[in-house]
Structures are given as C-alpha cells and as structure tokens.
Structure 1
Amino acid sequence: MQSGFELPLVSVIIPAYNAEAFIEITLKSVIKQTYKNIEVLVVDDGSLDRTAEIVKSIAMEDKRITLLQQSNAGAASARNKAIAHSKGEYIAPIDADDIWYPENLEKQVQCMLSSEQCVGLTYAWSVHIDEEGLLTGRFDYSRQKGKVYIPLIMTNFLGNGSACLIRRSCLQEVKGYNCRLHTENAQGCEDWDIYLRIAERYEFQVIPDFLIGYRQRFSSMSSNLPVMFKSYILVIGDVQTRHPEIPSRIYQWSASIYYMYLSYKNREAGKHWSCLICLYKSLKIDNLSLLHWYLYKHTLINLIEWLAKPITLFIWKDNLSWQKFKRQFRYRYYRSIEMAELNHKLEKRQHFFNLYERLQEQRLTKFAQDYSEIC
C-alpha cells in the first residue's frame, strides 16, 4: 500500500433483509480487512428477524460500523440510503451473506490509486461458497478491463454485487442504484444495471485474484427465477432503448448466455423441464452454444436427475434436502484447496474446452472495437 499520505476512506455498504444467518460472518470479514480506513454502513431493510440486534452488538465492539434502518424497500433503496449517509471517496458494496477475503479492499484501493481518473470501478474475482462457507467449484473470473460496455451487455462478468470498488463521483453521476426494479417486482439485476450505467461513462480495471466469497443459497432460489428473468428483460431493454445503434445480435447473444445461466439455476432448483427449455432457447438464439462443453455436461446431468427424481424424492423430503446431500460429495475436491492455489488451477483449467470461449472473445473484441465510442 502506498505511504506518505492519508489513505482514502472507503465506505462499505451492506443492505440486509432477514440476514441473521450470515450477517455476523459478513461483518467480521469486512472488519478483518487489511485495509483499515473504512466505515461500514448496514441498512436493515425492514427485517423481521434478529438482523438489527446482531449488527448493534458488533457495532458496540467496532465503532466503524453504523446501523441504519428503513421499511422494506429492496436492496437498491437500502444501498442508496447507505451511500447518502456515507463519507468515503470510494464505495464498496457487499451483500449481507457474502464475504471478503482479508486483502480484498487493500488490493482494490491499490488498483484504484494507481489508475487514471477515467477508471471508475475496479473488481476482483469471486469463488462461489455454500451455506457453510465452503467452495462449490464454481468461480466468477474475467480479465475484461478498459472500455467494457459491449462485453458487459453480453454478460455480467463481475458475477455479483460484492466484487467491486466504485468512485463516489461515478455513483453520483449515474444517480445510484435503480429502485424501479423492486417496484416492478423484478429484483436480481440491480448490480448489472449499475455496472452498465457506469461502463457507459468510465473504464473498468480488474484485480486477477480470488478475493470475494459469493454465497449460494438454494432455499430461496426457486421462487426467484421468474423475478430474475423479468429483471434481466427490463435492464437489457433499457440498454437497447438507449443504444439502438448497437446491432441486435449483441442483445441476442446476451439472451443466449442468460438462458444458459437460468438453465443451471433451474436444475439446481429441481425444475428439470424448465432447465431443458432454457437450454433449448439458448441454443435456438445462438448456435455457438453447440461448442460449449457445459451444454452437454449440463444436459446429461439434468436428464439423469430428472429420471432419478421419483427415487430422490422418496428418500429425501424435498429438493433442498437432496441438494444438500449432493454437496457433501459433489465438490469434495474443492473443500480442502487453499485460496492461493486457485490462480494456478485456473490457468491450467483454461487450456481445456476453450473453443467456445475463444470464439466468444473474438466476437467481443470485434464489436468492442467497432462501438468503443459508445463508452
């Protein structure tokens, strides 16, 4: 970390709704950051559980933590409230069930301080963790940087809402998070939405290290899927309205990738028919998906689980119990792996099954160059 001057204040903002199960773990990961010049603003978004009580208890031990409260209005509103009460030069959002590994803020601030003013957002890589905080074997990693608007339309390569550090001036310019999605019962893409609006005006920078733990909670997945799709339609529809000059094929490719993502979510939720429908729609929109090894692996596993469903439901009372059982064996390899090993493993992994990724990258490079003036 640079020395010789006072390090900038980072405002950590945490929206929390019925978060008693994980808020303490999340807060402890924040206050244990190696970067110490922080303030932490938790907004209790009308929780009906012990969320506020837990935050108050931890705040008594660490004066950097402030609890704000409001009636339930959604994550976007809660984040905007935290930003309005914050004082930091940089804003670092984290969801109430995710975690940061100790060097996350230090490396993100280092990256921001060494970047030009045209860089408005930095992000790091994420590992997916389960309810117990253990690695699942899925990761969010991208090397996209600079002018990223076109690649970001294609897919939310940051992966989640806990992976970035944002200049306050950027958030002020784009007028904060979009509360309309909650109003229209279309939550799920608020993070993607604000990343897109920032990318229209600023460049991005990446820290190629796994510094975020993105928690996957199966208990709420099933009911959220239709809402997530509605959220995607509204966010990308707004982009298309603002930028009709971008070829329609970009939006089609984006939809194909999102349908592939929804197919995975549907399978994990036990909705096997919906999974196949999403896979079909992904392939129908963009036949490049035929070169994606995940399509075949995912389809095969889905069909096997679908055929075995009468047996699994006979033994386990519901899909959630079945998913928890599978997790004991499915990613055992990743249970003991050290975070420091992941970069090496990733580089080795990229040598395989990468024809789809290479062709997708060629597409992105071409269109990003042709439409770089947009951002």
Structure 2
Amino acid sequence: MSEAVINDSLLSTSTNNLPLVSVIIPAYNAANFIERTLNSVLNQTYTNIEVIVVDDGSQDETSAIVQSIMQRDHRIQLLHQTNAGVAAARNLAIKRAKGEFIAPIDADDIWYPQNLAKQVQRFQESDSSVGLVYSWSVVIDGEDNPSGDFHISEYEGDVYIALLYKNFLGNASSTLVRRSCFDRVGLYDCEFKAKGCQGCEDWDLYLRIAEQYQVRVVREFLVGYRQTTSSMSHNYSSMVNSQQSVLALIHKKHPEIPNFLYRWSCSLFYIYIARKASVSGKYLETLLCLYNALKLDFSMTLLRHDLYVQLIKMVITPFLKIIKFLSFNNSETLIINKDNYSQKFKMENRKKIIKLKKFLPAKIYENWRIHWLSKRIAMQKYKVTG
C-alpha cells in the first residue's frame, strides 16, 4: 500500500482501529464559545476520540450547553470541580483520560477538521522519542473569522533551548501529547495559581516534555486561536510574573544555562505583551513593555519589526479614530472596506509572508543565536558526562 493511500485513510478514518485520542477542555464561564469549540472537535476527520470537559466552577450556562451536546454525541464526558484553575482542570481530565494521546484545547478556541488526523499521522511516522506534535495557528475573532495574524514555527527535534527562548508553540490548543509523557515529566503545575501568576502552565509543561522528548511540527494552519478585545484585557504584570516564575524554575534546575538567555526570553515576552496591550488600546503599557524589551536585549529588539510597528500604530491610531469620527457614514464605510480588503490580502498572501519572515534580520539573528547556544550547552554537557 502506498504512503499516499495510508495518509488518505488516516485523514478520513471512521473506524476505531487507530489510537484513541483524549481531548481535554477546561471550561470556566465559557458559554459564549464552548458550543463552537465542541463542534470543531466533534467534526474532526479523526473520529476515534473521547472528549472530557471539566467545568471549573462556572457560574453561567457552560454545563447546560455541554449537557445538551452530550445527548447527541456519546463521546463527550462532563466533569465538575470547584474553581481551581486551568491547570487543575486539565489534570483532572488527564487522570480520567483513556487515550494514548492527550489533546488539550481551550474552551474558546477551535480546530479545523484535519488537525487531529495530521497530528496523529506525524506521531505514526515517528518513533517513541517523539513526545509532542504541534500545528500552526491562525488568530480568530469572536465570529471565528481570521484576523490576519497567525503563529508559525519551523522548530522540531531537540527544541529545548528554542522553547526556553520563546513559546513558539503559540497557544495551549495547538499540541498533541503522548500520554506516557505525563508519567515521566508530571502533570500541569497548579502552584502557579497558588502564587497568583497563572498563564504559563502550558509553557512550563512543554519545557519539561522538550527536555526529555523530541518534538515534531505539522506545517499547516489547523488551529483557530481566539483573541478578542475582552480576552486581551489582562493584568500584564501578572503575565510577566508568571513568565519569570517559569524561568526561575529553569534557572534553578539548569544553572549551566547562561543568564543572558533568560534576559533574551524576558525581552521577547515584553514584545509579546506590548502587542497585546496595543490591541487593547493601552498605549502607556505598550511603551513600558517596549522600553523593558530594549533594556533587556537592545540589539535584538532594535532589529525586530514589532518595535516599529507598535510605535507607528501608537502615532497613527489616534488620528484614524478622529478621522473616522469626523467622516461619519460614507467615509466610515470606506475605512471598514479597506480593513476588510487588508484582512483578505493578509490571508491570501500568508505563505508569502511566511517566506519573507525567514529573511528578516531579526529572524536570521534569532536562529543563529539559538543554534549557537544549543551547541554551546551540548558541548558543556558532553564535557561533564565525558
């Protein structure tokens, strides 16, 4: 049987002769999106799944919506717990899961139909050294429409240093994890909530997996990562504390890793927060984050196009709002149509943008840094063990 036939069979499977995948969904006050999330899971071309939803003490109609969907699909289970946070909810689901693979998805994100099939396929093409497979993501709005932004990465294999530098996986809904990984590296860490710094539980887990296992990537956009104005209204200092808590754990565990890598990682995280703050219209926070990014990693930040994009947006956006207010209906329609055209242009030329980003100075410099540092640390380990 040819490889093409095997691949087509996997992507359209309707039998249970393939590994069981346990989909885990933590849900807290998720009534607005949980139905769409579940439908995207149930409509996967890979059908040998169980779906475990954990209601984390919701005070809205989350449970009622899940129960109504359970009546038409027996693959769904609904568990309840008092509000204990996303890590505890995922851990409860993992403990109940029976699948060979664990597939986390947040209660407001969506998967496109072939996500699980292609991730399982990557596992079946690999040996037991591979513990995690991830897909590319597009950012979607409250109506499931792509915003034009996306998350991509080419990193695979031994990715520990690259993942420590930045969480290139993009979000908590893009991965498929071998169940045996949790037996070896442990579950999600609930202490982040206890410390008041939730937000990096998934990155912490992925780092522990990457330390012990190989990683593979599906180079296709198969995940819809929802970002709305309300979801971007975060406590940014809490996000920084969460990221730095993870780095502190790694630094204690691996003193051989140079301190400058942690500075690089913090700087890049400030760039990420600056983007979120800018979208929320919080320009003072945006400026502060950009300043911190420059202070921690001056040369790289100067090379990043994100720095200049955010600065230009802060200058232009107030004027656009004034023009929109003064122009009333006709000009407002023109601005909206221009935005829609811009969005369509971005989506249609996504592959060209991906190719272009590979040649940006910051990307070239970043890849050289990670390669150089990975090689340096590997040589240190060899000298110690040799």
Normalization by structure 1: what TM-score? Answer: 0.90
Change (3 A) 1:52 1:175: same
Q: SS in structure 1 opposite 2:234? A: helix
Which amino acid is the alignment partner of residue 351 of structure 2?
H
How many residues get paired? 362
Match of 1:322 in 2: none
Q: Report the equivalent of 1:305.
A: 317
Pair 1:107–1:188, CA change in 2 (3 A)? same
Match of 2:307 in 1: 295
Structure-2 residue corresponding to 1:334: 343
Contact persistence 1:263–1:276 (CA under 8 A): yes
Return the index of the structure with the highest Cα Rg: 2
Q: CA deviation at 1:29?
A: 0.3
**Structure 1 vs Structure 2 CA RMSD:** 2.5
- 1: CA distance between counterparts of 2:196 and 2:340? 34
Is contact 1:255-1:282 (8 Å) kept?
yes
Residue 253 of structure 1 aligns to which amino acid in structure 2? W
Q: Is the 8 A contact 1:135 1:335 kept in 2?
A: no
> Post-superposition shift, 1:337?
7.6
Match of 2:371 among 362, 365, 374: 365
Tell me how far 1:78 sits from its aligned partner. 0.3
Q: Which amino acid aligns with 1:366?
A: W
Conserved in 1, the CA contact under 8 Å of 2:147 and 2:343? yes
Match in the other structure for 1:197: 208
Cα shift at 1:269: 2.0
Amino acid paired to 2:184: E
Q: 1:147 touches 1:372 (CA, 8 Å); kept in 2?
A: no
Q: What does the per-residue CA deviation read over 1:317-355, in whole Å, with 9 as the maximum and x for residues that have no partner?
A: xxxxxxxxx9875454335887xx566334443366x11
Q: What does residue 118 of structure 1 align with?
A: 129
Shift of 1:133: 0.8
- Please identify runs of 4+ aligned residues in structure 1 that moved more than 4 A: 2-5, 306-309, 311-315, 326-329, 335-338
Structure-1 separation of matches of 2:317 and 2:353: 28
Aligned amino acid, residue 77 of structure 2: T
User: For 1:221, what is the secondary structure of its paired residue?
Assistant: coil
Identity %: 47
Q: CA 1:247–1:109 in 2, change beyond 3 Å: closer, same or farther?
A: same
Provide the rounded CA distance (Å) in 1 between the counterparts of 2:264 and 2:41: 36
Which of 262-271 and 217-226 deviates more? Answer: 217-226
Structure 2 SS opposite 1:95: coil
1:73-222 equivalence runs, <5 A: 73-222=84-233
**Distance (Å, rounded) in 2 between the aligned partners of 1:281 and 1:337:** 30
Q: Of 281, 299, 302, which residue of structure 2 is paired with 1:270?
A: 281
Structure 2: state its 5+ residue gaps: 1-6, 327-334
- CA contact 1:161–1:191 (8 Å) conserved in 2: yes
Distance in 1 (CA, whole Å) between partners of 2:353 and 2:73 is: 37
CA distance in 2, matches of 1:266, 1:228: 12
SS in 1 for 2:53: strand
Which is bigger in relative contact order (C-alpha 8 A, separation at least 6)?
1
* Shift in Å, 1:207: 0.7
So what's the TM-score if we normalise by structure 2? 0.88
2:356 maps to which residue?
A: 349
Deviation at 1:286, TM superposition (A): 1.1
Partner in structure 1 of residue 243 of structure 2 = 232
What is aligned with 2:3? Answer: none
Say whether the 8 Å CA contact 2:141–2:147 is kept in structure 1: yes
Instruction: Return the alpha-carbon distance in structure 2 between the equivalents of residues 34 and 90 of structure 1.
Output: 16
SS of 2:39's equivalent in the other structure is helix
Distance, in Å, in 2 between the alignment partners of 1:27 and 1:312 is 41
C-alpha distance 133-5 of structure 1, shift in aligned 2 (>3 A): closer
CA distance in 2, matches of 1:350, 1:304: 24
Report the Cα distance in structure 2 between the residues aligned to 1:372 and 1:330, rounded to whole angstroms. Answer: 48
Aligned partner letter, 1:20:
A
1:259 aligns with 2:270: yes
Give unpaired runs (5+ residues) of structure 1.
316-325
Once residues 284 and 53 of structure 2 are traced to their aligned partners in structure 1, the CA distance between those partners, rounded to angstroms, is: 39
Q: Which residue of 1 aligns with 2:77?
A: 66
CA–CA distance in structure 2, aligned partners of residues 348 and 206 of structure 1: 17
Could you tell me which amino acid in structure 1 is paired with residue 92 of structure 2? K
Q: CA deviation at 1:371?
A: 2.1
Report how far residue 365 of structure 1 moved. 0.7
